[in-house]
Amino acid sequence: MTPSSPALDGSVQERAAAFLPPGDGPQALVDPTGSPLPSPLAMPADDDLLALHRAMVVGRRFDTQASALTRQGRLAVYPSSRGQEACQVAAALALRPQDWLFPTYRDSVAIVTRGVPPVEVLTLLRGDWHCGYDPYEHRVAPQCTPLATNTLHAVGLAHAARLQGEDRVALVLLGDGATSEGDTHEALNFAAVWGAPVVFLVQNNGYAISVPLAKQTAAPSLAHKGVGYGMRSRLVDGNDAAAVHAVLTEAVAGAAGGDGPTLVEALTYRVEAHTNADDAGRYRDPAEVEAWLAKDPVSRSEAHLRSRGLLDDALAERFAREGEELAAGVRAALEHDVAPDPRELFEHVYAQPTAALLEQRDLLLAELEEEPA
């Protein structure tokens, strides 16, 4: 089959003009105070703005609860996405029911927003199972811990879906650090050449664990990397939920319509440490965190909605109550220990277990049998 990417059409200058992010900076619709900004982007409908805000309120409460459970020893690890809620919820809400989400370990809020039961989302991070939910039921791939491998999974699914004549888009979440991985290069190149219906959402939170962006790339922006591969690229304010949703909705529609992939770089910030095992105070200044707290996506959204009369105290309290109810359900479900079966470690790793895997399983079972009852 011959590649049919739009990247192969037109002159070099025309392609560059089509693929470059518009404007000199990130696109935005709402400033940090909640005031609307002039923008070529279309403001999402009122119902969509309220859905984004509700999901951020509920998602932040989920995130806070999961972080608390980690400190209490109920979870093995939890990578918080506090501060990145706009990207998390916009990614999930921009997708259509038939589309797929490919998350990383930090994207639990996106998965909850997609409709996966919160307790099932935390099963992996509790250490009980490889994945706590049915990926096919929710069209959400298992959370990816190795950097960037999910980019290849997303491209493979999207390309296969198109070959089968299915109307399906894959949206893959990755961080700024993942853009320096070889897997991302291969995924971007394949997607552009073959015009795969994929949206790459790079949540640029400034750090690859403790490595600042400037020490891992010299690119003018991460969005420019997409231009180099021959795909449309967009740069957006990642703390502006309205703008992120507008850009992603357009990208998903374009992918579904045969326009090929889009890379979206969203500028945001990870307020908490990388994980509960990290001390962020060793590599970043508290003043930097404070500056980003002033750009908080939830506060920005609330101020905007209140200024337009779309959100009042009663509705804000309802959203907060829904978050508390979700958190209470998570606490109740995780307060009891489970007794995982060690043999399950070896299930669902391969469709046909390898000889080495079977050898490891037998060795473990033999050791368990030798233990006193």
Q: Which residue has the tokens 């999901």?
A: 55
Task: Detail the DSSP E strand segments found in 57-129.
Answer: 100-102
Q: Which residue has the tokens 């011959």?
A: 2
Active-site annotation holder among 15, 185, 283, 331 = 283
Cα separation of the two ends of the chain: 60
- Chain centroid to CA 259: how far? 22
Tokens of 11: 């002159």
Phi and psi, residue 250, nearest 5°: -65, -40
Q: Cβ(62)–Cβ(323) under 8 Å?
A: yes
- Angle at Cα 65 formed by Cα 68 and Cα 245, nearest 5°? 130
Task: Detail the DSSP E strand segments found in the chain.
Answer: 100-102, 170-175, 198-204, 207-208, 211-212, 232-237, 262-267
270 is catalytic: yes
306 is catalytic: no
133 is catalytic: no
- Angle at Cα 311 formed by Cα 307 and Cα 317, nearest 5°? 135
Amino acid at 6: P
Residue 324: Cβ within 10 Å count: 12
With 0-12 / 13-18 / 19 or more C-beta atoms within 10 angstroms meaning exposed / middle / buried, residue 323 is: buried
- Angle at Cα 178 formed by Cα 277 and Cα 55, nearest 5°? 70
- Angle at Cα 295 formed by Cα 268 and Cα 243, nearest 5°? 60
CA distance linking residue 104 with residue 66, whole number of Å: 16
CA distance linking residue 95 with residue 90, whole number of Å: 9
Alpha-carbon dihedral sign for residues 189, 190, 195, 197: negative
Active-site annotation holder among 126, 270, 300, 304 = 270
Active-site annotation holder among 114, 162, 274, 304 = 274
Residues designated as active site: 270, 274, 283
